[in-house]
Structure 1
Amino acid sequence: MAADYGEVKFFGAGGSPFARRVQIALKLKGIQYQHFEEDIFNKSELLLKYNPVHKKVPVLVHNEKPLAESLVILEYIDETWKNYPLLPQDPYQRASARFWSKFIDDKCLPALWKAAWTVDEKEREKGVVESYEALQYLENELNDKKFFGGETIGLVDLAANYIAFWLPLLQEVVGLNLLSNEKFPKLYAWSQEFVNHPVVKENLPPKDRLSGFFRARYASITANSK
């Protein structure tokens, strides 16, 4: 007998790593949902209704109860649907997973963003140094595990999806070499495992479209800086 998931709506945008976190989690857990694809430059009235505070994706609506912010949504999904757990049962390990997920959002992603998109050379170099430091912390935390969650994809892996898929395309476009097998062999091996997982692979944006978006954005930034 199929599980009763209630009514689940998901508002996302194809190129958003934050929305993709949620979409992959929904697929891993086999949750049926209605997908609303948003144009981030022309947001729908429904999105603004369900997320009036931040006015952005992702948004999950379960039985007409909306939730925003990807990490919050992931924890809600995990607590509501118990199959394919994203968080470990052990309290310390659960707290640790939350810590590293927040570290990725608060420290790692801003550093990578600064390294890639900052026009000022000194600030960009600062971003590169901060990125290396953040990636080294993740390399050490991963240790010899297949995924941050052990043998299966968990909360931290989903939080780090940007590093696995978006970052390699971005660094190719802007001429950086942050994540590589030489610099971070464990993290690089993890990234390959993650993006080639069957569920993940089916729920990532097309590489050519994302790369084109990065190239257009980078060209615009460099042109405006002259």
Structure 2
Amino acid sequence: MATLLHIDSAALPAGGSTSREVTQAFRENWLAQHPEGTVVYRDLAAQPLPHLDAVGIAAGFADPSTHDDAQREAMALRNELAAELEAADVVLIGAPMYNLSIPSTLKAWLDQVIIMGRTAGENSTVVGKKVVVVASRGGAYGAGTPREGLDYVTPFLQGVLGALMQLDVHVITPELTLAKVNPAMSELIPLAEASREQALAEAADKAKELAALIAA
């Protein structure tokens, strides 16, 4: 049975979040191909994870047989998240840009799920797993724009998910999402709508493509 791990991190709820809209489009198209499939869903805004602390860090590098009660509790959460990631056939992550980077809730998930010697490092247990990241952003950060070079979402996630964890990362980038609510960007609304439609279409296509790979 195919399993999708779906993670949203947008602070805004459905209806007000472009990243949630696009991840939902991916999920719906995925389930259309795998109606019997399983979706493991984590809404990190509604149910945030604790940030990794000294106890959790120490537990990740210590022999489990030496763990005290606090370390066992901390490691139980890290193992749960790692197991979810390992069991997934495909991972879907909504990662809107907040102040040029990712939401702190998503960073908390990453810090908890990255376990050196298990999900990260030379012998990663998730090597090659397909990950689709919806990296929405309020403005434009591509080549030739005034904010070129200030996108710290995509490079960071490609580094962490790709280089460190050895996942196979595909990024969908709906941009100019603030055009409708920022009067100074009103002339960019047509471009924003085009970017949104392209992201929705790309999400649908990618979901069908990955679903077909699992079925094969």
Q: TM-score range by the shorter chain?
A: 0.3 to 0.5
TM-score between both structures, scaled by the size of structure 2: 0.32
Q: Which has the higher strand share?
A: 2
